[in-house]
Amino acid sequence: MSRQIVLDTETTGLSAENGDRIIELGCVELFARKLTGNDLHIYFNPERESHEDALKVHGLTTDFLRDKPKFATLANDIVEYLRGAEIIIHNAAFDVGFLNKEFERAGLPPLRTFVGEVTDTLAMAKLVYPGKRNSLDALCDRFGVDRSNRTFHGAKLDAQLLADVYINLTRGQDALLIDVASNEPAQGTAVVAVDLSQFELPVIAAGEQELAAHEAVLSQLDKSSGGRTLFRQNSGNAVA
């Protein structure tokens, strides 16, 4: 079972290509879907000012960051910490773009060359909840994750919140099957075989009104297609 690192960054702005830099890195380690405490949290001196809008989000002033290490001085340590792990990020393209730029400045290869894989929880959430708000805040509210102490966006705090969200987002049916099959706590994401013969599944037949409504829909579809629907042709009841 591989390590999972839930990762978040704070930056001076929105564009790594235009010179914005990482000012905070927060990482939370999971193993067997449990927090290990082997976390990583670093502030960096970005050697530039934060944009006004970004400062309103993270609250990390230039004065506060002035004596912090530069990313390049710790880049190798960061690579070794992340090496081989599955990296879990919300809106991964943003953070990966910034990390790759910082690694490039330090003469190191891109993130995906030394980690196991990158999982984007935003993409996952959009599949599970299409058309709904899927920001980290929205997902915390949806899953009942407490974010009451989140005055500013902070990389370590956001990584901790995202770890909780990720566990909730990936529980799925496997967790239900595991709970039925055993009273022991679920370990990892292993799928447990369940003998479904122990369940008595009710069979509910459609009523007359439901059957009539279903037939009306089928007839409308057949008329719309000019009598070319296969289900009518195969039954020999095609509309002329």
Just list the catalytic residues: 153
**Using an 8 Å Cβ cutoff, are 161 and 137 in contact?**
no
Burial 47-62 (b: 16+ CB within 10 A, else e): eeebeeebbeebebee
Query: CA-to-CA distance for 236 and 152, rounded, in angstroms?
Result: 67
In the Cβ-directed half-sphere of 68, how many Cα atoms lie within 13 Å?
Answer: 21
Query: CA-to-CA distance for 94 and 175, rounded, in angstroms?
Result: 31
**Which tokens in the block code for residue 76?**
């190798």
